Amino acid sequence: ETTTETTTEAPTTTTEITTTTEATTTTEETTETTTEATTEPTTESSAEAETEPVPAPSVSLEADSITLEEGETGTVSISLKNFENGASVNNLTFFVLYDPETVTAEEAQLVSLDGSLYTATDNVNDFTITSEHVAYNPEYYKEDMIGKTPFEAGVVKFAFVCTDFSSGLYEFNSDTTVAALTFKGVSAGSTPVSIGVVDCNSIPGTAEVTRVSCETVDGAVTVTGAVVAECPYSFTADRDLDTSDTYSAGNTVYSDGYISYNAVLSLSVNEGTSSARIGSYSYTNSLKCSSTNTSVVLDGSTKNMRIHSSVTAKKDCVVTIVTTVPSGKVIAAAEKNSDGTYTSLKYYDGSSSSGNVEIVLRLSAGQTVYLMGQATNPLVYAVNAAAVGDINNNSKTELTDAVQIMQYAARYAEDSSSLTEDEFAAADINGDGAVDKKDAALILKQLIA
C-alpha cells in the first residue's frame, strides 16, 4: 500500500504545478519581450533622426599661386569659394603673410563694395606696426615688425565688416574675389602666401551670430632668376653708347654686313631711371630724337611726324627695332615712296594699345625703312639684323637652323599664331607667308651648294 500511494500522488502533483503554471509564465514573458523589441526601440530611433543637427555653414578662402621673374610684378587673388549649407558672410577678417625677402607687396586691392559693407583701415599700407598691434594680434604681428609698414613686414590685414545687419544685400554668399595683393619679385626663391582667418561669420539683424567654418587654401609666389640684363642684338644703346654720345642728322649710328642704321633727326642718349622688360631682354638707356615735326603724308593722311632714324638693308635680312609706343601717340615704321609720301609697314596706335614693342621687318637688299612718331619722340633701345634663316641669331646659317625651322613648322602647323614675329620672319625663307618643310629645304640647299 505504501508503494502505490507514493507513485500515484507524485505524478499528479508534478503535472499540475510544473506544466500549467510554467507555461503560462513563459507566454507572458514572451509577450513583454516582443512589445519592447518592436515598439519602444523603433519609436526612440525615429525621434533621434528628427532632431539630428543641421550641418554647419562653411566656406573656403583661397589664394592663387603665381610665378614671377626678378623685377616682374604679378597679382595673387584671394577668393571666397565653396559656400555650403546656406553659408553667407558679412563679417570677415583675415591676414595674408609672405616672405618680404623674396617678394615685396606693391598694392593691396579690395573687392568693390557698396552699401553698409565696408573695409577696416588695417588693410592699407599707411601705418607702421606698433606694440599695440602685436598685443592685439600676436599670432600675426611680431615684435621684430614694430616700426615697419605691413608691406615691409610681410603681413597684411584685410577686414570686411557689415554695419547694417538687417539687410541681406551686404553679404558674400557666392564665389567671389574679395581681395588681391600685387607682388614684385625680389630674389629667386619661393614664398607661401598664407592666409590666417580671425573672424568669419554672419550677423543677421534679429538672430545670434552664426559662425561660418572657413577652410583656408594657401597660395605661393615663385620667383625665378633675373631677366637678361644685356641683350645680344646687333646694336643696343646700353652696350654701345656712352651717355654723352650724340648724332647729327645723316650720321651713321651703327653698321654691319646686313644694315646701316642712320640718324634722320639729331639723336642723343636718353638715360633711363630703371630697366624695362621688352620681349626677352631688359633695357635702360635709349636713343631719342630732337622735337622737330615734319608734315608728311602717311598712308594717305597728312600728319606731323618726327622721323627718328632709318634702317637700310645691305642684303636680305630680318630687322628688329626695339621701341615704345606712348599712350595716345602713333609710332610707324614706313617706306618712302617715289612721290615723297610714306607707306607704313608697321603702324601702332597708342590710343588703343600702348607699351614697349619689338618691330620686326623682313627687308630686301637696298630697302630703307623709317621710324617715326606722331608729335612724339620715338625711343630706340636696340636694333638687330639677322640673315633670313638665321634662326638662332648667331650671324650664320647652318644645319641647326634647318632643324629649328622644322620644329617651327610643326608648331606652325598646329597653331599659326605660336611663332613670334621675328621667329616667323626668319623662318619663312621663301616668303610665301607660311613656315613649312619647304623653308627648311631651302636652307639645306644653301648648305650643300
Alpha-carbon distance of 409 to 346, in angstroms, equals: 24
Task: Report mean pLDDT in 10-residue bins for the chain, 449 residues.
Answer: 41 39 39 42 49 84 90 88 90 92 86 61 73 92 92 90 66 86 88 93 77 93 71 90 95 95 96 73 91 95 96 92 92 96 95 85 94 94 84 68 77 74 74 77 65
The residues near 438 (Cβ < 8 Å, ≥ 6 apart) are 429, 430, 432
The four Cα atoms 134, 136, 140, 145 give a dihedral, to 10 degrees, of -20
Q: Using alpha carbons only, what angle is made at residue 348 by residues 344 and 350, rounded to the nearest 5 degrees?
A: 145
pLDDT of 37: 42
| Dihedral class, residue 433 (left if φ above 0, else alpha if ψ from -120 to 50, else beta) | left
pLDDT of 90: 83
pLDDT of 19: 37
Q: Which amino acid is at 215?
A: E
Cell of 228: 637678361
Alpha-carbon distance of 389 to 366, in angstroms, equals: 19
Q: Using alpha carbons only, what angle is made at residue 135 by residues 118 and 143, rounded to the nearest 5 degrees?
A: 110
Alpha-carbon distance of 72 to 186, in angstroms, equals: 8
- Which of 236, 222, 205 has the alpha carbon at shortest distance from 90? 205
Instruction: Please return the burial class of 203, using the count of CB atoms within 10 Å of its CB with bins 0-12, 13-18 and 19+.
Output: middle
β-partners of residue 382 are 236, 322
Q: What is the DSSP letter of 171?
A: S
pLDDT of 426: 74
Alpha-carbon distance of 247 to 289, in angstroms, equals: 9
pLDDT of 8: 39
pLDDT of 4: 41
State pLDDT tens for residues 162-180: 766 665 557 888 898 888 8
Cell of 165: 545687419
pLDDT of 18: 38
* Count of helices and strands (H, E) across the chain: 9, 28
Q: From the centroid of its chain, how far is CA 90?
A: 28
DSSP SS3 for 302: strand
Alpha-carbon distance of 296 to 372, in angstroms, equals: 10
Kind of pairing, strands 330-336 and 342-349?
A: antiparallel
For 289, half-sphere exposure in the C-beta direction (CA atoms, 13 angstrom radius) is 29
Q: What pTM value is reported for the model?
A: 0.48
The residues near 276 (Cβ < 8 Å, ≥ 6 apart) are 282, 283, 284, 324, 356, 381
Q: Let me know: does 212 contact 89? Beta carbons within 8 Å.
A: yes
- Which of 263, 236, 386, 369 has the alpha carbon at shortest distance from 312? 369
Cell of 163: 554695419
| Dihedral class, residue 279 (left if φ above 0, else alpha if ψ from -120 to 50, else beta) | left
Alpha-carbon distance of 150 to 166, in angstroms, equals: 34
pLDDT of 54: 77
DSSP 78-129: EEEEEEETT--BSEEEEEEE--TTTEEEEEEEE----TTEEE-GGGSSSS--
Q: Let me know: does 287 contact 380? Beta carbons within 8 Å.
A: yes
pLDDT of 114: 56
